[in-house]
Each structure stands twice: as structure tokens, then as C-alpha cells.
Amino acid sequence: MTPSPKTAPDASRRSERSRRAILDAALELVGETGYQRLTIEAIAARAGVGKQTIYRWWPSKAAVLLDAFAALGEEAAAGETELPDTGDLEADLKLVLRTTVDELNSPRFDAAYRALAAESIVNPEVCAHFVERILEPQLRLYAQRLARAQQAGHIRPDIDPRTALELLTGPLTHRWLLRTLPLTHEYADAVVELTLRGLAHG
Amino acid sequence: MTPSPKTAPDASRRSERSRRAILDAALELVGETGYQRLTIEAIAARAGVGKQTIYRWWPSKAAVLLDAFAALGEEAAAGETELPDTGDLEADLKLVLRTTVDELNSPRFDAAYRALAAESIVNPEVCAHFVERILEPQLRLYAQRLARAQQAGHIRPDIDPRTALELLTGPLTHRWLLRTLPLTHEYADAVVELTLRGLAHG
């Protein structure tokens, strides 16, 4: 769904500039108006491009938004395609969850991500694309890190990493989405410690 | 916000019937149309009462809905005001989380609760009422049960029950809201086991 211009370098640079402007506009607008009221027309106007430029590259507003979120995720990951692995699982997970807290609390991310999550909750089709394109690729990184920790003997061998990772990510998402209590680094640390050590005595 | 009629028994029964019809209509309609498109007019029409009957008891559609969810919660709790405490924390929590799974998966609950959650995610005012009126009272039951388990020596003494309970409820809510993987009794059991025992080896 991303443009792959087979044209001269100048045209290619212009294409990339337009593409970035469209994705940025989509993120800003969905945060301002919500998913339902977002239109391709408004994205085009905010990005300073023609509607046809958007329709040439994307079939729908959902497709633009998913690319915009994917780009935001790549930006946040800063080129990293794996979770950190220093050998210290607890320190690595605290670092990752603290970074996630900062991301969720950042205004650029917050409004847009809330709008997409709210729509996903009531719209199974948007949800399926969101989960497949944005959410599960992130969760797989946790599963891989936990599987490596398991190989290194730091995680119990009977544990399914795909199930276990939700103990780390679920509480953070829940607290952020429903604003029950402040989402802080201290909370991120507590979730990692409780998840690794468990609640039960002895 | 609930009617407290100081009239004859017959009028009181009629009031209670109207009140139930209004709450049921609100739950049905919000699941069908979503929060934004829900109107007092539509609730009145579905319930077979006049608009003024609703406005006499509730100031807004949000207030009707919150009462409707509170009634749904009381119905699900079937008069219980505490989580079960047989002395076996793991068995008790599995029972509670399996019941929650059944509730979340029931059509009556699902659509209405999704609509309210989606609105809460993007609307801080609705969210604050939702959390205060519906969510936190439920979470307090977990905190109380975990605190009693701590007194009984089944939970480590250094743990904050309010933080710990989100390891139980967060993953279920997350999986339900974003439909990442099936929400089953097996998953509920796994969350309880992992939360109590932790992931870390030894």
C-alpha cells in the first residue's frame, strides 16, 4: 500500500514528501475528529495534496491510517526490530515497558491511537486489520524475547510465551485506555516485577 | 438517579416496570447504534414510555446508560457483594475469571459494553463516570480478595493488591476488546496460574 515510484529521483523525493504529509495529516486529523468523521478529503486538504493522490496509493481511510500507525511504530522503534537482550530479562522488560508508557502518554500518539482503538473495539473489520498490521507484530517481539529468556533458563519451561506476554502488555493498555490510574514508569516496573515473580507466597 | 416513588404500590410497580424497560432499551440500543447515535427519543420509543418519563429520572443518556450497566453488573453478581473466598485463592480466582469470560462473551453484554468502552476511550468525561460507577467498584472486589489472601499468607506481603489485580483483569479485557485471540476458560485459568506463580524460573 506504500508508493513504489519507478520514476526519476526528484519525482521520487516529491512522492515521499507527499506520502509523509498524508500520513502525518491522517494521524493529526483522526486524533482531532475521531475515526467516524475522518475523510479522505480532509486528509488531502491538511496534507496539501489532491484527493486523487491519496486514492492512487490507498483504497480507503482505514488503509491510510494503518500505514500511518505502522510508520509511527517504526519511528518509535528507531530501526530496532527486536526487544533489547542484555541477558538481564527484568531490566530489558522494564526499559521496554517504560518506553511504551512514554509513547502512550505522548500527545502525538495518544489521540490518534485512542481513535483507532475505539473504532477497533466496535468495528471487527478495522480491528482485524489493526491487530494483524500493528498490534501482533509488536506482541511477537515480546514472545520472541520471552522465548529467548526461556532458552536461557530465566523463564519456566512450561510457559507459553504468547500467553505470558499479555500479563506485561494487558495491564498497561488497560490502564491507558480506561484511565483508571496514572500510567507511570513506577507502574511499568511494578508490572514487570509482579509478572516475573508472581503474587503467590513461597 | 433511580426513581424512589412515594406513591401507592400500583404506581410504584408501574414505575419499576418503566425503569427496567428504559434500562433494557438503553442497553439494546447502544449495542445496535453505538454511543454517539444513541438518543433519549429512541430509548423512550423502544421502552414504550414518554421522553419526559426518562428526563424525570435521568439528566442525560450517559446517566441512563451508567444505571443500565450498574443494573447489568448487579444482575451478573446475583446478589454477591464479594468475590468467593473458600480459602483456595487459585480456585476462587479461576471461578471469577471464567465467569467474567462468559459475561464478556455473552451477546447481551458484549455489544453494549463495547459501545461504552469505545466512547470512554475517546471521551474523558464519560470515562470518568464509567470508571467511578462501574469499573472501580468491580476492581475493588479483587483488591479486597487479594488483601484477604495476603492476610492469610497466600500472597507475598510486599505486594500492593490494587496494582496486582490488574495482572488478572488487564489481559482479559485487552483480549476481549481487541479480539487478539479467543477469550476462553483455558485462557482465564492460564492468567490466574501465571499471575500467582510468576514467569521467572526458580
Looking at the complex, report in whole angstroms how far the Cα of residue B167 sits from the nearest Cα belonging to chain A. 6
Which of B119, B121, B167 faces A195 most closely, judged by CB atoms? B167
Q: Specify whether domain A9-60 bears CATH 3.40.47.10.
A: no
Q: Indicate whether A21 pLDDT > 80.
A: yes
Work out the number of other CB atoms within 10 angstroms of the CB of residue B7.
9
Q: Indicate whether A196 pLDDT > 70.
A: yes
Query: Of A136-145, B5-14, B100-109, which gets the smallest average pLDDT?
Result: B5-14
Higher pLDDT, B2 or A40: A40
Are the Cβ atoms of A175 and B166 closer than 8 angstroms?
yes
Higher pLDDT, A7 or B127: B127
Q: Which three cell numbers stand for residue B200?
A: 521467572
Write down the residue that cell numbers 454477591 correspond to. Answer: B80
Query: Closest chain B residue to A34 measured between Cα atoms?
Result: B122
Domain spanning B80-197, CATH architecture? Orthogonal Bundle (1.10)
Please state the rounded mean pLDDT for residues B63-83.
84
Phi/psi for B200 (5° steps) reads: -70, 145
> Cβ of B117 under 8 Å from any chain A Cβ?
yes
Mean residue pLDDT across chain B: 90
**pLDDT tens readout for residues A100-153:** 999 999 988 888 899 999 999 999 999 999 999 999 999 999 999 999 999 999
Provide the number of CB pairs (under 8 Å) joining chain A to chain B: 168
Q: Indicate whether A39 pLDDT > 60.
A: yes
Which of B122, B162, B201 faces A34 most closely, judged by CB atoms? B122
Query: Closest chain A residue to B35 measured between Cα atoms?
Result: A122
Residues of A in contact with B89 (CB under 8 A): 200
Parse chain B into domains and list their residue ranges: 9-60, 80-197
Q: Indicate whether B1 pLDDT > 70.
A: no
Which of B36, B121, B166 faces A114 most closely, judged by CB atoms? B121
* Helix axes of A161-178 and A89-105: crossing angle, nearest 10 degrees: 30
Task: For residue A11, name the pLDDT band (cuts at 50, 70, 90).
Answer: confident
Angstrom distances, CA of residue A139 to CA of A10, A43, A147, B202: 38, 30, 12, 25
Q: Find all residues with CB under 8 Å of A86, minimum gap 6, and list them.
A: A92
ipTM: 0.88
**pLDDT tens readout for residues A55-87:** 999 999 989 999 998 888 887 777 778 999 999
Q: How far does Cα B166 stand from its chain's mean position?
A: 15
Are the Cβ atoms of A198 and B201 closer than 8 angstroms?
no
Residues of A in contact with B198 (CB under 8 A): 194-200
> Cβ of B156 under 8 Å from any chain A Cβ?
yes
Q: How far does Cα B192 stand from its chain's mean position?
A: 20
Q: Find all residues with CB under 8 Å of A52, minimum gap 6, and list them.
A: none
Closest CA to B121 of B174, B70, B71, B157: B174
Residues of B in contact with A181 (CB under 8 A): 162
Task: For residue A8, name the pLDDT band (cuts at 50, 70, 90).
Answer: low
**pLDDT tens readout for residues B115-154:** 999 999 999 999 999 999 999 999 999 999 999 999 999 9
Are the Cβ atoms of B178 and A118 closer than 8 angstroms?
no
Are the Cβ atoms of B130 and A178 closer than 8 angstroms?
yes
Q: Residue ranges of the alpha helices (H) in chain B?
A: 9-33, 40-47, 51-57, 61-77, 89-105, 107-122, 124-130, 136-151, 161-178, 185-197
What is the number of alpha carbons within 13 Å of residue B2 lying toward its C-beta?
13
